[in-house]
Structure 1
């Protein structure tokens, strides 16, 4: 069983990312992945003042932050579920990711699921996510799951409302699974310094 961490990217009232996340978690679990959701509303992320890796004494960091970092370091892959805010990434997502050292993410794949209320599905957020995730040491997989008109594409309980959504979500999960297996084998053989 592979371990996947899913980062939910927003804290706004009425957020729709949970719709997308529920569906993707179901698909990932069907592929024998264990999924842990990092939700900035349920974890005590404050405005980032000092990332864990810049703290002179990391043992003085809050226990929840050290535990979350250990989970990230032990994960086999990641999924980022993000809306588009002002043609970019939401601050809650960037704040959450930047708490952790790039070394904890390194050499693991990440899938991007983006969404919006409008017709473009958060594509601009995904375009900003790729270099940010790469800077953390992640390998952004080619498949991208774009969800336009999210409230019409998903029911409130995370059920896809059309075949295109089902097909594209499955494609993201299938490709992420391939990359998880391939990079896990590669890490076992050794990673570059």
Structure 2
């Protein structure tokens, strides 16, 4: 069974990008061969980083829970809004708390969104660089979501049917890569 961790990168209580994370979670939960966990930065908040927790026992109590989730994950979906041309600082803060070996050789998918026409493309480009720096294995298909407030309603349902192919192909490509990598592990 493959374990996927979905990290929702917006710390805002009124987050719109959480709709993308919720939708992806619901879609992935339909597959009985997947185990889905979540980190929601609206609740799973860490203070600004002072040092990397290189081992679980060095982490705070909250950090130990997050450490375990990262440790168990075979694949990680990063979902972030675009803030001023970048992904959320809360996402960066979270990922920086933990050592690089937690991320190495894990499959990453990137989903971004904005209420504008670019869909978080600049955030996605920076997340690509981050995944490479973490020695993750990036699924080349991105989910870039322009006008995300018009694609997903407040209940995280896809309301723009023309976007359904984008989400389906994104998940298909991510899962294909995840399963190929998982099947090659010893």
Pairwise same-fold verdict (TM > 0.5): yes
SS of the aligned residue for 2:27 comes to: helix
Q: Which residue of 2 aligns with 1:4?
A: 4
SS of the aligned residue for 2:141 comes to: strand
State the distance in 2 between where 1:131 and 1:97 align: 13
Q: Which residue of 1 aligns with 2:97?
A: 99
State the distance in 1 between where 2:185 and 2:71 align: 13
Where structure 1 has 5 or more consecutive residues not aligned to the other structure, the ranges are: 189-193
State the distance in 1 between where 2:9 and 2:108 align: 14
State the distance in 2 between where 1:86 and 1:16 align: 16
Q: Which residue of 1 aligns with 2:134?
A: 136
**Cα shift at 1:175:** 1.0
Deviations 1:35-61 (A, max 9, x none): 1111122124111111112xxx75242
> For residues 114 and 94 of structure 1, do their structure 2 counterparts lie closer, same or farther at Cα, with a shift above 3 Å needed?
same
Equivalences for residues 1-193 of structure 1 within 5 A: 1-32=1-32, 33-53=34-54, 59-188=57-186
SS of the aligned residue for 1:41 comes to: coil
Normalized against structure 1, the TM-score is what?
0.90
Where structure 2 has 5 or more consecutive residues not aligned to the other structure, the ranges are: none
State the distance in 2 between where 1:91 and 1:176 align: 24
State the distance in 2 between where 1:185 and 1:74 align: 16
**Cα shift at 1:70:** 2.5
Question: Is the CA contact 1:17–1:81 (under 8 Å) kept in the aligned structure 2?
Answer: yes
**Cα shift at 1:135:** 1.1
**Cα shift at 1:71:** 2.2
State the distance in 1 between where 2:63 and 2:171 align: 28
Question: Once superposed, what is the RMSD of the aligned Cα atoms?
Answer: 1.5
Normalized against structure 2, the TM-score is what?
0.93
Question: Is the CA contact 1:4–1:36 (under 8 Å) kept in the aligned structure 2?
Answer: yes
> For residues 60 and 105 of structure 1, do their structure 2 counterparts lie closer, same or farther at Cα, with a shift above 3 Å needed?
closer
Once the two structures are overlaid, the 10-residue window that deviates more, 97-106 or 28-37, is: 28-37
